[in-house]
Amino acid sequence: MSMVTEKSLNSHGEEGTVNAAFSAALTPLEDMGLRKRNIPSILQGLADNPYALPQPMQCDIVKKELDAIDTLLGPDIDAPKAAALSANAQYAETGGEIIHDAVVGFVRSQTSIIPLRSIVRRITGANKHEKAVNNAIQAGKLRRAYLRGAAEAKFGGSCLAARRIIAESKKTSAEAVEVAAK
């Protein structure tokens, strides 16, 4: 069973492509309800009330919960980013993404063997489970945003490090991390 994570959707590389192709090959098993993605317990609990304040509302507790959510969902949208890539690095990254998409697309096309797939997915409960997984991911994102806002309101800037996006800048990665830590 695979773990719910969006990191795998964003990281291509060789390992990411192999994992994505393998996952695509197992799609028919998911369609028939024989393979399901696990929903981590922390995300299952958030679906009911992502806006509950942690008890007690302490900076260390908020940080631990945010770290756990970041581990499951990957970094938040405003996590510090490295300096802009050189033209050659951008070409290499784009080429890697094209290859990744082609490989995964090919595997998906070869494994799409179930006739009337949407009906099969509905009957087996695969659609319902996929919706539960997506709702859990959404609840995790909402919880992360809520906790960051609540921590900022309660503790000001003293609890969580301010984050800044360093995009299209000439700064080095070390400078980007230094700016993000301020």
- Per-residue tens of pLDDT for the chain, all 182 residues: 444 444 433 444 455 777 877 777 777 777 777 788 888 988 988 888 899 999 899 999 999 999 999 999 988 887 776 666 677 877 787 888 888 788 877 777 776 677 787 888 888 888 899 899 999 999 999 999 999 999 999 998 888 876 544 444 444 444 444 444 44
**Where exactly are the structural domains of the chain?**
7-181
Concatenated DSSP letters of 85-124: PPHHHHHHHHHHHHHHHHHHHHHHHHH---TTHHHHHHHH
